[in-house]
């Protein structure tokens, strides 16, 4: 598909969407797609990353196997 056709297809699909959160996400995605432009994190995102780094530095982590087991148990309880 050519770029013009893809743009028209995207425009057609977006015109059918009324979900404001989804549309905001699309705007963020498109605005951050410019070359050489850094993604701007929100304060909340920056805080979550900092918390995760502290947990990792303190070796407060779980193995993938442990997490998968917990998820499987949780899914079985539903």
Question: Whole-angstrom Cα distance, residue 22 to residue 33?
Answer: 17
Residue 32 phi, psi (nearest 5): -95, 10
Please give the distance of CA 30 from its chain centroid, rounded to a whole number: 14
Q: What is the pTM of this model?
A: 0.43
pLDDT digits 0-9 by tens, 46-73: 999 999 999 999 999 999 999 999 999 9
pLDDT digits 0-9 by tens, 4-38: 999 999 999 999 999 999 999 998 888 877 666 67
Evaluate if residue 45 carries a pLDDT over 80: yes
- Dihedral angle sign, alpha carbons of residues 42, 47, 52, 57: positive
Higher pLDDT, 40 or 73: 73
């Amino acid at each position: 598909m050519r770029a013009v056709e893809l743009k028209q297809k995207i425009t057609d699909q977006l015109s059918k969407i009324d979900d404001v959160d989804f549309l905001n996400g699309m705007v963020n995605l498109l605005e951050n797609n410019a070359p050489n432009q850094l993604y701007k994190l929100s304060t909340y995102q920056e805080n979550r990353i900092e918390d995760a780094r502290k947990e990792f530095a303190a070796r407060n982590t779980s193995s993938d196997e442990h997490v998968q087991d917990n998820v499987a148990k949780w899914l079985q309880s539903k």
